[in-house]
Structure 1
Amino acid sequence: MSAHLPLMIWLSPSFPVGAFAYSHGLEWAFEAGDLHDADSLHDWLGALVTHGSLHNDLILFAAAFRAVRAADGAALREVAELALALANSTERRLETVTQGNAFVAAVKASWPCRPIDDLPAAWDGEVAYPVAVAVAAAGHDLPLPACLETYGLAFVANLVSAAVRLGVIGQTDGQKVTAALVPGLHAAAAGAEGATLDDLGGCALRSDIASLRHETQYSRLFRS
């Protein structure tokens, strides 16, 4: 089976994780005036790819993937715990664990594999989304580079879709923004493949502030 087929299914909008409900703070950034056109959206998402939340998620993904392949339950537990600790707001935690838990449940029902079944033995808490997808990907013997690139593209595509629904840009500009971010996604995935937990870190501070401010935003469409 081609590696891309399960990845395309798992990370498509039709897979029941509820990704459409989250804007990752974009909704507050739009209301605050930070996002107002294709260029500002491109810059915002590009920062997440290179030194923000996606940068960390890809490293966590790779570490969880390697832990499963090595049958190292202690390492997987460390990654799963750290992934939750790095969710630096209530909504960021809600976003990652709601999708992660839903992903685990959906994969158990439709794409079963032993690492998903054995996950509670290593980590019996809530599961961050990149960790959940990584465990399933390793369990189905998918290649890590393709997994990282597809996960990153799905992250960007979901936020571009949120921006379109908010009215920041139209659909054509949304596709242009996504296409322009592809080279950065290739580089981020390649970097994460050989990274360790020591490489975690970020400086997309405005995005973090947006997530915190969204928690008290009066009128909103999204859960984050």
Structure 2
Amino acid sequence: MRLTELTALLHLASPALPIGAFSYSQGLEAGVDAQWIVDADSASAWIEDGLMHVLARAELPFISHQMERWHRHDATAIAAADRQFIASRESAELRRETEQIGWSLKQLALSLAWGGEASRAALGALTPLSQPTAFAFAAAAHDIAADAALAAYAFAWAENQVAAAIKAVPLGQLAGQRILVAARAVIDEAVARALRTPPDRINTFSPMLGVFSARHETQYSRLFRS
């Protein structure tokens, strides 16, 4: 991997990227409220399950195929796929999350003039816009390899889940780091699975996540927006 590619990848995966991802738990907080997540072991199981049975079947392969479409400059296919992805979100919170983070990442990409002029015009025209499509644009604009881009996205997701678990369970910092170390092999497997997934096999079927997310909308006490 070229150093320029690595630094771009670190930038995109950084928790300091100003897109607001830190304010969402993607159902984890509702899992804590329902006492599905009560300690480090159950938090680790939740996160690894999310990597293998949610991201690996939906967001990661979707990003891979959107990257290919960005490289082909196929704005029509990008827009159609993005509409389908947004429609697949299981709850109002999850839909608002992907649209808000997608919008924020779009503003950053346009402000920093990532990618070519035609690609930026196509990105700017996407309203609403999902986070994975915006991430795929950024990765393609920096000419990042698909496997590396998916690994970075998955790690950023896992890191954000760990940060949410540290606050909501709560867990100690060392317990959180153990979860992230254990997740490395799971991320490798999730990326490999995603790269083998054709567009017509992408799915977001995860009923309990949808239930927990819907419950979170009316949860009495909340730290996070999802």
Normalised-by-shorter TM-score class? over 0.9
CA contact (8 A) 1:100 1:129 kept: yes
Q: Displacement of 1:88 after TM fit? A: 1.2
Give the length in aligned residue pairs.
223
1:61 to 56, 60, 63: 63
Instruction: Give the equivalent residue in structure 1 for 2:120.
Output: 117
Cα distance between partner residues in 1 of 2:97 and 2:57: 16
1:126 to 124, 128, 132: 128
Cα distance between partner residues in 2 of 1:202 and 1:73: 23
CA contact (8 A) 2:56 2:191 kept: no
CA contact (8 A) 2:37 2:169 kept: no
Question: Is it true that 1:36 corresponds to 2:38 in the alignment?
Answer: yes
Cα RMSD of the aligned pairs, angstroms, is 1.7
Q: Displacement of 1:111 after TM fit? A: 4.8
Cα distance between partner residues in 1 of 2:55 and 2:144: 23
CA distance 1:143–1:171, change in 2 (3 Å): same
Q: Displacement of 1:84 after TM fit? A: 0.3
Unaligned stretches of 5+ residues in structure 1: none
2:77 to 62, 75, 78: 75
Cα distance between partner residues in 2 of 1:56 and 1:9: 23
Deviates more, 1:1-10 or 1:43-52: 1-10
Deviates more, 1:81-90 or 1:53-62: 53-62
User: CA offsets, 1:180-217, max 9 Å, x none?
Assistant: 11111111112222322212124432222111100011
Cα distance between partner residues in 1 of 2:111 and 2:56: 27
Cα distance between partner residues in 2 of 1:200 and 1:52: 10
1:166 to 165, 168, 171: 168
Instruction: Give the equivalent residue in structure 1 for 2:154.
Output: 152
Instruction: Give the equivalent residue in structure 1 for 2:212.
Output: 210
Q: Percent identity?
A: 30
Q: Displacement of 1:11 after TM fit? A: 2.0
CA distance 1:216–1:104, change in 2 (3 Å): same
Q: Displacement of 1:120 after TM fit? A: 4.3
Q: Displacement of 1:127 after TM fit? A: 1.0
**TM-score, normalized by length of structure 2?**
0.92
**TM-score, normalized by length of structure 1?**
0.93
Instruction: Give the equivalent residue in structure 1 for 2:54.
Output: 52
CA contact (8 A) 1:145 1:193 kept: yes
Deviates more, 1:71-80 or 1:112-121: 112-121
Deviates more, 1:14-23 or 1:65-74: 65-74
Instruction: Give the equivalent residue in structure 2 for 1:187.
Output: 189
Cα distance between partner residues in 2 of 1:194 and 1:138: 19
